[in-house]
Structure 1
């Protein structure tokens, strides 16, 4: 019995084209007695999972790891690094609604860089753009955030020390309304910004600001957290003051889409 089970695993591993029959087999199971169908379906799925794991393990065998390393020419390596200095890496917030190939084509058209910027699909449902210069790259970042299919895109500048966890944050400028005039100063605005996300910058100068009614703060917003459009703050203990927020430059999509 064990031998038969092992043979079945190897059979599925080396003939992946037979997976096209999975849906047909599952439909057949559903035509049987519900109890028998559930039992057989569980066994079948367990077998498929084991076959997938075996196939993955075969691919990850360390054959060749003990071989003599191959040293690449330094001029070739340095040239490649120079060509890939200015990179933006990103990912869709809602992958099921944002096709990566379409994202790459659409953004190049929006930026007006078709033929100059090279878009690529990278592992982990991510994409990257290689820019010809630092100026063109920073111009795109400064004009963000960007969106596709009415949903936001997370995009960050890449470096050799890039942390994938950074692809969970979107820098946003937020207009804050409702701060009582007697409490309007840069430090208060900074503390409000820290309550909304990772504080980055503040745009307020008491000597030059014309419209005292509004203040602006820039934060890195974690997309896993809900986006707030108003929130109570206490400038005086026990007394709530409702502040309202407007998220700037959210082009190409509805603000309600941020709440998904």
Structure 2
């Protein structure tokens, strides 16, 4: 009665997790033996409710599947028959051109579960004399878990269980026994939208935070360099101003459109066949020197 009236309730904060029991749960596990559990990888582009409505129709099994939204981007497909094996063979899966995970349900407790997608992966660039099943498996182990009897040596392909929580790798350097370094290319079959900058499936390039951070860092470095440039003193500018002549139209045009021409230009006197020739040269962005027009001629 004390609990019903609220007198036995403890209002103190308690961060300890609640311990659950697994007694007499064999019937629960048995109920999910014909279930597939899935998770969307790009929540901004994938609506779980619409996915649950679309995929059974895509597989032509809408009358044999009961779908449940589990929240947090996860969902469950319950099959009345053994058609779940047929569905699993259709993978890897995508909806709205973005990938999603779909595996056979297991009693795994983890916030990220499920996270594995089996991909057939093609490798190119391996030297022919090193093209062996052993080397393919060694390469595949750096990408994920290589399934047993899932290597096709003649085609350079293998089936790999890839962890979708990590960036996908599309190229890798390998070393030959002689110490020579070669870059191989990795192609994931039926891979749809992903970030081409960081390799994650959870977003596309336009939403990549790592790319934005890289751009801001580059802008910050450029700003730092602009701040440390030493300004040219007034004493250095005065000689240039004194040497200007009214008829120096070319130099006037340069100073009109390039207010900082004094930072990059210099005056040169060339002597040709007894004539003294004043020429201005400026250093442009392409690091090539070019001569200005003749702005004055006087006999030496």
Q: TM-score under structure 2 normalisation?
A: 0.53
SS in 2 for 1:167: coil
The offset of 1:226, in angstroms, is 1.7
SS in 2 for 1:95: coil
Q: Using the alignment, how far apart are the partners of 2:177 and 2:30 within structure 1? A: 55
The size of the alignment, in residue pairs, is: 180
Match of residue 97 from structure 1: 45
Q: 2:48–2:69: 8 Å Cα contact kept in structure 1?
A: yes
Match of residue 104 from structure 2: 157
The offset of 1:238, in angstroms, is 3.5
**Runs of 4+ deviating beyond 3 Å:** 80-84, 160-166, 253-260
SS in 2 for 1:225: coil
1:130 maps onto 2:78 in alignment: yes
Match of residue 242 from structure 1: 183
The offset of 1:101, in angstroms, is 0.1
Q: More helix per residue: 1 or 2?
A: 1
1:211-250: CA deviations, max 9, x gaps? x4x3112222122322122221112353211111221133
Match of 2:174 among 205, 213, 233: 233
The offset of 1:165, in angstroms, is 4.2
SS in 1 for 2:51: helix
Q: Using the alignment, how far apart are the partners of 2:64 and 2:52 within structure 1? A: 13
Match of residue 5 from structure 1: none
Q: 1:177–1:215: 8 Å Cα contact kept in structure 2?
A: yes
1:218 maps onto 2:159 in alignment: yes
Q: 1:119–1:130: 8 Å Cα contact kept in structure 2?
A: yes
Match of residue 180 from structure 1: 127
- What does 1:1-40 align with in structure 2 at a 5 Å threshold? none
Q: 1:92–1:152: 8 Å Cα contact kept in structure 2?
A: yes
1:119 maps onto 2:67 in alignment: yes
SS in 1 for 2:168: coil
Match of 1:141 among 88, 91, 102: 88
Which runs of 5 or more residues in structure 1 are unaligned? 1-53, 63-71, 206-211
SS in 2 for 1:109: helix
Which runs of 5 or more residues in structure 2 are unaligned? 1-10, 19-23, 204-300
Q: TM-score under structure 1 normalisation?
A: 0.60
Query: In terms of Rg, which structure is larger?
Result: 2
SS in 2 for 1:98: coil
SS in 2 for 1:227: coil
Q: Using the alignment, how far apart are the partners of 2:59 and 2:110 within structure 1? A: 26
Match of residue 228 from structure 2: none
The offset of 1:161, in angstroms, is 4.7
Note the aligned Cα RMSD (angstroms).
Answer: 3.0
- What does 1:72-91 align with in structure 2 at a 5 Å threshold? 78=27, 83-91=31-39
Q: More strand per residue: 1 or 2?
A: 2
Distance 1:93 1:256, change over 3 A: same
Q: 2:34–2:84: 8 Å Cα contact kept in structure 1?
A: yes
Q: 1:173–1:247: 8 Å Cα contact kept in structure 2?
A: yes
Q: 1:156–1:166: 8 Å Cα contact kept in structure 2?
A: no
